[in-house]
Amino acid sequence: MNELIKSMSADMGISPYSSESENSFIYRVLFSGLGQWCLRISAGSQNGISGTTKHNQTLILNNLISKYIELFPGMEESLRSDDTQLSVLIRHIYQEVGYLFTDDDNRNHLCDVRRVVDTGNSKLCLHSLQKGEINGLGVFNPEATPSISWREFLIRDSLTPEQYINSKYDIVVFEDRDVDLDDMQFFNPLAQASPSQSWNNRICTEFTVGRKSLLGPFYLIQAYGEGVLYCLEDQSVIDDKLTSFEYRRLYFALKRFYDNPVKMRSKKIDDIYSKLIVQGHLPNREYYLLLLISWPDRYAFNKTEFIIKNSFLPFVSEVIANLGIEVIGG
């Protein structure tokens, strides 16, 4: 194996899993390495000014990706996408979860506030250049203190899926509206499909969501007898913020409410690693957490399959089950 990959993997504590292809291992090492470079760039200074501009950070990471692909041509599909720059994704994640903070001059700095997330068997360190083992984009040290819970980290409430549905479908905020049902699609919690494929032209359950188009407007809907009550749903944010894509939580919760939960399957690879397969895209909070604790399988923008260490499965299973997703094999 290439000496660079050997050195990087040893420094970050990343080992190959059983029968892992060389390209797969190289990709995982480079993915984590780019994250470490992103943090180190922010730790520098220029002309006596600490930190770095977002533009410079992105430029350096893009140059690194190009160099990596020159060295390892098989990495083109793993590290590049027509839709998103990996450099920007990594930077956004670190900004959102607290590794980096942006000052008034739009410069990124390493956060010097000590924050540690307890993952059960280890601690996810969200401050400075903490030495430790690297998993995905996260830095782990079992001795780090003090720690916060994953709910505090994700700014996630303690509602169960049923409680969440009850809060969303409070009859007080619903009303009769003059809405053309023939012009709408409805979310079907009973469909044996992922949430994105669970839409049809009729109302199938008492609680559902209606939409005029893929981009909305969206309505929470309560059906009763021959009548229908509506509540205009606030447009969910769909950007790179930690709290974006929250509408996905509603779809997961509705499927759980109607005893047809979305599945996340864990398939053991060997004594160290497993593969996670999620039947749908997660809200950013949970997606970003997975990127801090595991590797997207085969390519960096894979949002439904992840390679994770077995020791983190109980922790991840708890977080994902909180959304109403049924965890199988975790």
Q: Domain 259-328 belongs to what topology?
A: Translation Initiation Factor Eif1 (3.30.780)
Distances (CA, A) of 79 to 23, 61, 145, 201, 284: 12, 11, 34, 39, 20
Segment 200-220 shows an average pLDDT of 91
> What's the whole-number average pLDDT of the chain?
92
- Does residue 214 surpass a pLDDT of 90? no
Select the highest-mean-pLDDT range: 171-175, 181-185, 286-290. Answer: 286-290
79-93, 101-115, 230-244, 273-287: segment of lowest average pLDDT:
230-244
Name the band, by pLDDT with cuts 50, 70 and 90, for residue 129. Answer: low
- Does residue 330 surpass a pLDDT of 80? no
Name the band, by pLDDT with cuts 50, 70 and 90, for residue 151. Answer: very high
Q: C-alpha angle with apex 191: 188 to 196, nearest 5 degrees?
A: 70
Return the percentage of the chain with pLDDT > 70, whole number.
98
What is residue 222's predicted lDDT score, i.e. its pLDDT? 93
What are the residue boundaries of the structural domains of the chain, listed by start?
Answer: 3-112, 161-238+246-257, 259-328
Segment 34-51 shows an average pLDDT of 87
What is residue 130's predicted lDDT score, i.e. its pLDDT? 65
Segment 52-80 shows an average pLDDT of 95
Structure pTM? 0.94
Q: Which of 261, 245, 242 is nearest to 194 (CA)?
A: 261
Number of residues that this document lists for the chain: 330
Segment 276-294 shows an average pLDDT of 97
Summarised one tens digit per residue, pLDDT across range 140-149 is 988 887 889 9
Out of 1.10.40, 3.40.50, 3.90.700, 1.10.10, the CATH code matching 3-112 is 1.10.10
Provide the 10 A C-beta neighbour count for residue 98: 15
**From the CA atom positions of the chain, what is the Rg in Å?**
22
Name the band, by pLDDT with cuts 50, 70 and 90, for residue 32. Answer: very high
What is residue 121's predicted lDDT score, i.e. its pLDDT? 85
- Does residue 70 surpass a pLDDT of 90? yes
- Does residue 1 surpass a pLDDT of 70? no
Per-position DSSP letters for 14-55, written without gaps between them: --PPTT--HHHHHHHHHHHHHHHHHHHHHH-EETTEESEEHH
